[in-house]
Amino acid sequence: MAKRSIRFGVIGCGLMGREFASAVGRWCHLLDLDFEPQIVAACDTNLAAAQWFRDQIASVRLVTTDYRDLLNETQVEAIYCAVPHNLHAQLYIDIIEAGKHLMGEKPFGIDLQANQAILEAVTRHPEVLVRCSSEFPFHPGAYRIGQWMREGRFGRIIEVEAGFWHSSDLNPQKPINWKRRCETNGEYGCMGDLGMHVVHMPLRFGWKPRNVRALLSKIVKERPDRSGAMVPCETWDNAVLACEASVDGQEFPMLLSMKRIAPGHANTWFIRIAGTALSAEFSTRNPKQLAWMPYTPGGDQVWQVADVPYQSAYPAITGSIFEFGFSDSILQMWAAFCDELVNGQGMRQPFYCATPEETAESHRLFTAALESHRSGQVVTIA
Ligand SMILES: NC(=O)c1ccc[n+]([C@@H]2O[C@H](COP(=O)([O-])OP(=O)(O)OC[C@H]3O[C@@H](n4cnc5c(N)ncnc54)[C@H](O)[C@@H]3O)[C@@H](O)[C@H]2O)c1
């Protein structure tokens, strides 16, 4: 089958830049696609990080420390930009203005103002596809919940809980990095770091928080730097956001949590939905398991728990009895981005990547959460 090749540049060749390289390297994992990404250029201010791309990927022709070299390169049609949050606004806007398609990373701007500036660039360039990375909804259990939601199977929503929990910061000796500094990570702290992952599915289902009462915690206030000296660790470690959401005129509580310090949780992303006709729960802590409870009035209330097969948005070579993992969700997300880029609304399956508008909703929520914590009040979200 002739494949449409999408020529990518990568800006930011760290943890997530390499995840993309790995996904591209095993594109043959996906079945029957008529499109494929090809990385032709890599940029990182740390030249060694960019050079890794040239060493690993035969198609990489340009390696540079200046991202503008990628914007001037006509061969590059799309860019994955995975850099610290303080750089999002300038780089994303420059990428969009250069007419390149963009997969950006969350939180899509270090704060609300930066996010609004990015959104304005998006509005000026409707010819460019702009999406935000968020891979967890592509886990088979989460993806099936999304299907049920599109089919309207939950009935009236009673309550929703969603979260993303880490634990490595429990170790007070873990050295500080850019993700624990307000200057580079942003005042949102853990909300900027983890929050878009938590709100992606709720926002896609139309569950917009109308207000929020936030409790934010700073637990470890100092960390060693590279020299071993203790320096301030400024960012919020944990956030618990109690929101009122509504859909179809009906209100329900939505509890969202983002925790850098949740003892024992390595990378736990979860969503629990209680509905009058169907309830469902999925957590990456038990990535094979999906629990759900259909209900008809007067009927039994019996939870079902099943190991979900390896079935996500895009069919893959993996047999359905095998396990799905983090890097599989990244691969599926990239398939959705490339599919939308090539096929637009005719993409093969309906779950498209997180949109700039969804990131804007998340920024309104996190900004209101900061205000709620400061004032101790419930804050209405405009
Ligand atoms: N989707 C996810 O699951 C996920 C996971 C982790 C991080 N992220 C997001 O990805 C982004 C990057 O995080 P990371 O963990 O990959 O960080 P990282 O520190 O591992 O990598 C960032 C890279 O950007 C480079 N860089 C800094 N300034 C640059 C510039 N001006 N031009 C080019 N390169 C520059 C750094 O040298 C570094 O190699 C952040 O927005 C973060 O929130 C997403």
How many A from CA of 42 to the centre of ligand 1?
A: 13
- What mean pLDDT comes out for the span 67-79? 98
Residues 306 and 369 in one domain: yes
pLDDT tens-digit profile of 237-271? Answer: 999 999 999 998 899 999 999 999 999 999 999 99
Q: The domain that contains 171 carries what CATH number?
A: 3.30.360.10
Cα 242–Cα 245–Cα 249 angle in degrees, nearest 5: 155
Q: What angle in degrees, to the nearest 10, is found between the helix axes of 326-343 and 15-25?
A: 70
Question: Could you tell me the CATH number of the domain that includes residue 15?
Answer: 3.40.50.720
Query: Within a domain: residue 323?
Result: no
Q: Which of 100, 132, 164 is the C-terminal boundary of a domain?
A: 132
CA of 360 to the centre of ligand 1 (A): 20
* pLDDT at position 1 over 80: no
Each residue of 95-110: pLDDT tens digit? Answer: 999 999 999 999 999 9
Residue of 11, 83, 111, 333 to mutate, ligand 1, most atoms within 8 A of C-beta = 83
In terms of C-beta density within 10 A (0-12 exposed, 13-18 middle, 19 or more buried), how is residue 365 classed? Answer: buried
Q: Are residues 49 and 196 in the same domain?
A: no
Q: Is residue 189 part of a domain?
A: yes
Q: Are residues 212 and 260 in the same domain?
A: yes
Domain co-membership, 116 together with 141: no
**What's residue 2's pLDDT?**
80
Asked whether residue 227 falls in the same domain as residue 362, the answer is yes
**178 and 301 fall within a common domain:** yes
Q: Does any domain span residue 284?
A: yes
Domain count, the chain: 2
Q: How far apart are CA 366 and CA 368, in angstroms?
A: 5
Q: Where are the alpha helices (DSSP H) in the chain?
A: 15-25, 47-56, 68-71, 88-97, 112-124, 140-150, 182-185, 190-204, 326-343, 356-375
Q: Point out the domain boundary residue: 108, 132, 156.
A: 132
Q: Is 69 left (phi over 0), alpha (psi -120 to 50) or beta?
A: alpha
Full residue range of the structural domain in which residue 303 is found:
137-313+355-375
pLDDT value, residue 382: 81
Are both 144 and 287 inside the same structural domain?
Answer: yes
* Residue 87 CA, closest ligand 1 atom number: 31
Among candidate residues 88, 105, 132, the one where a domain is terminated: 132
Measured CA to CA, the distance from residue 95 to residue 341 in angstroms comes to 16
Tens digit of each residue's pLDDT (9 = 90 or more) over 287-304 = 999 999 999 999 999 999
